[in-house]
Amino acid sequence: MDRSPPSFVSGFAMGSPDACVNQPILSAWCVSKTSGSSGTEHLEFKIGGILGDSRTAGSWKLNMTAALYNANNTLVASSVSSVPFTISVSPSVLTVVVPAKAVVWVDGVKQQPGTIQIPVDAGAHNVTVPSIVEVDAGTRLRFDHWKDGPTQPNRTVTISLSRIFEAVYVTQYRLSIAGQTASTAGEGWYDSGYTATFSVAETDQMNGLLGLLGGRLRFQGWYENNKLLSDSPVDHLIMNQPHTLTVLWQADYTMPIIIVGLLAVVVFVLAYVAMRRRTALTASEPSLPSRETTQVEPESRVGTKKPSRRTPRRRSRSSVRRRRSP
């Protein structure tokens, strides 16, 4: 129980049709003339100016009193009517409604994920919500607008009383293409209910050496969960959930086979020509003379000459006769 003594605040009063005397002290009062001759007057009290923030929060004990004064300005005791009452004032509450996984920032302070309700002082406050909220690998939420009109996720709001601000998000689903090559298109995020277009070239180049040799991939169809979805290179799909498409290709080795076959023929021809040239060169080379054993006589001593051995030749008779004739 709070046993602290009550505190007083200054106040002021306004009256109609007669003006009141404002006394910014412990009370406010006003004097007005009676409006009827029946002896009964009806008074209406209105209380305002108590702002709901941390400075004015709590219980306000008030007392309203009405009394009549006679022409001599003397209080008529029997006319005094007093009504004590209490007003409980709570701070202004800022409520920001967002999806469960969205994190709100208020005046640069990160809040817990999901919808928040926090007490704030009266005045301007900065509120920021995320542009994208990840749900899972194939689903996310995209900020679209605030329910009261603004379209930016960051805004400044003015608080005088408790207020509620709701961020509107749009669900998005991802279209993924497995076995993707450079010729495919359409992968990405789409709003729920949007018709996504996906496409692929009918043929594409193989990777690596086979691609350099002219190897091609030929489109066969789009598959999802091992079921044929479409056999058209260009098709459409309503995005009401995440989708993963797989492109089925058929390999075409026609050009690599042709090129490899031609290379093999060229290599064979070159090898055959080289072999024929080698055979022709071998056949055109001259034969070397056979080596005979020759007996070398030792050289004679210096200063002596060894007579040569000559085999006497026989002269024919005809030659002798010619010398004798005159």
* One domain, residues 55 and 5: yes
Q: What is the pLDDT of residues 204-235, one digit of tens each?
A: 777 777 667 767 788 889 999 999 999 999 99
Q: Answer positive or negative: Cα dihedral of 223, 224, 225, 231.
A: negative
Six-digit token string for 120? 């704030």
Confidence band for 173, pLDDT divided at 50, 70 and 90:
very high
* One domain, residues 99 and 127: yes
Q: Considering the chain, what is the average pLDDT of its residues?
A: 78
- Strands (DSSP E) contained in 206-294 are 216-224, 227-230, 234-238, 243-252
Choosing from 139, 172, 205, the residue where a domain stops is 172
Confidence band for 55, pLDDT divided at 50, 70 and 90:
low
**268: helix, strand or coil:** helix
Is pLDDT at 5 greater than 50 in this prediction? no
In 3D, which of 196, 188, 198, 181 has the Cα closest to residue 233? 198
Q: Write down the residue that tokens 């200063």 correspond to.
A: 303
Highest mean pLDDT among 12-16, 80-84, 118-122, 283-287: 118-122
Highest mean pLDDT among 48-57, 205-214, 243-252, 280-289: 243-252
More confident call, 166 vs 220 = 166
Q: What is the DSSP string of 126-182?
A: EEE--SEEEEETTEEEEEEEETTS--SSEEEEEESS-EEEEEEEEEEEEEEEET--T
Q: Is residue 326 part of a domain?
A: no
Q: Is residue 250 part of a domain?
A: yes
Question: At residue 136, what is the residue type?
Answer: D
Q: Is residue 82 part of a domain?
A: yes
Q: What percent of the chain is predicted at pLDDT more than 90?
A: 36
Choosing from 225, 255, 285, the residue where a domain stops is 255
Q: Are strands 92-97 and 227-230 parallel, antiparallel or unpaired?
A: unpaired
* One domain, residues 19 and 83: yes
Q: Is residue 216 part of a domain?
A: yes
Q: Is residue 17 part of a domain?
A: yes
114-121 average pLDDT score: 93
* One domain, residues 44 and 59: yes
CA separation for the pair 316, 326 (Å, rounded): 19
Is pLDDT at 186 greater than 70 in this prediction? yes
Confidence band for 318, pLDDT divided at 50, 70 and 90:
very low
Range of the domain at 40: 1-90
* One domain, residues 86 and 9: yes
Q: What is the pLDDT of residues 282-295, one digit of tens each?
A: 776 665 555 554 55
Omega into 119 within 30° of 0, i.e. cis?
no
Six-digit token string for 203? 């043929």
Rg, C-alpha atoms of the chain: 59
* One domain, residues 7 and 42: yes
289-308 average pLDDT score: 50
Q: What is the pLDDT of residues 29-42, one digit of tens each?
A: 666 777 766 667 77
* One domain, residues 167 and 196: no
**195: helix, strand or coil:** strand
More confident call, 235 vs 92 = 235
Lowest mean pLDDT among 14-23, 85-94, 136-145, 247-256: 14-23
Instruction: Count CB atoms within 10 A of the CB of residue 190.
Output: 20
DSSP secondary structure letter of residue 213:
T
Q: Is residue 324 part of a domain?
A: no
How many domains does one find in the chain?
3
More confident call, 152 vs 278 = 152
Q: Is residue 302 part of a domain?
A: no
Confidence band for 277, pLDDT divided at 50, 70 and 90:
confident
* One domain, residues 165 and 210: no
9-27 average pLDDT score: 55
Q: Write down the residue that tokens 């490899």 correspond to.
A: 260
Q: Are 121 and 144 in contact (CB under 8 A)?
A: no
Is pLDDT at 258 greater than 60 in this prediction? yes
* One domain, residues 157 and 100: yes
Q: Are 144 and 170 in contact (CB under 8 A)?
A: yes
pTM: 0.58
The contacts of residue 236 (CB under 8 Å, 6+ apart) are: 195, 196, 197, 198
